[in-house]
Amino acid sequence: MAEVIPFKAWRYNTKQVEIEKVVAPPYDVISVEEQEALYQRHDCNIIRVELSKENGTVNKYEAAAHQWSRWIQERMIQQDQTAGYYLYETVFRDLDGEKEHRRLVLFGLIKLEPFETKVVLPHEKTHAGPKADRLELLRATHTNFSPIFGLYDDETQTVQKIYQTLQSKTPLYRMALPDGEIHQIWHVTNEADLQSVADMFDSKTILIADGHHRYETALYYSRHEGKTGSTAAYALVGFAEYHDPGLLIYPIHRLIKHLSHYDHASLQKYIETFFTVEKADEKTLQNISKGCLQGSFGWFDKTGAYLLKMKNLAAAKAHMPAGKPAVWYDLSVSQLSFLIWPHAGIHEKNIEKHVEYKRSLQDTLAAVKEGAVNASFVMPPISITDMKAICMAGELMPQKSTYFYPKLGSGFLMHQHE
**Is the CB of residue 249 less than 8 Å from the CB of residue 383?**
yes
Residues 215-256 have pLDDT tens digits of: 999 999 999 887 777 899 999 999 999 999 999 999 999 999
Q: Residue 208's CB: how many other CB atoms inside 10 A? A: 21
Q: What is the mean pLDDT of each run of 10 residues along the chain (418 residues)?
A: 96 95 91 94 96 87 96 97 98 91 98 96 81 92 97 95 95 88 96 97 96 93 83 96 96 97 96 98 97 95 98 95 95 97 93 94 98 98 95 91 94 96
Q: What does pTM read for this prediction?
A: 0.92
Sequence-ordered list of residues with C-beta below 8 angstroms from that of 388, at least 6 positions apart, any chain = 151, 207, 242
Predicted pLDDT at 96: 85
What HEC string does 150-167 produce? Answer: EEECCCCCHHHHHHHHHC
Break the chain down into helix, strand, coil percent, rounded to 5: 35, 25, 40
Q: Which domains does the chain have, with CATH numbers?
A: 4-248+405-416 (3.90.1530.10), 252-380 (3.30.1760)
How many whole angstroms separate alpha carbon 194 and alpha carbon 84? 7
Q: How many CB atoms lie within 10 A of CB 271?
A: 18
Main-chain phi, psi angles of 397, to 5 degrees: -95, 160
Specify the 3-state DSSP secondary structure of 77.
Answer: strand
Considering just the CA atoms, what is the radius of gyration of the chain in Å? 22
Given a contact cutoff of 8 angstroms between Cβ atoms, the answer to whether 223 and 133 are in contact is no
3-class secondary-structure state, position 36: helix
In 119-259, which ranges are continuous DSSP H helix? 128-141, 158-166, 191-201, 212-224
Contact yes or no for 251/177 (Cβ under 8 A): no
Q: Measuring CA to CA, which residue among 231, 188, 153 is closest to residue 82? A: 188
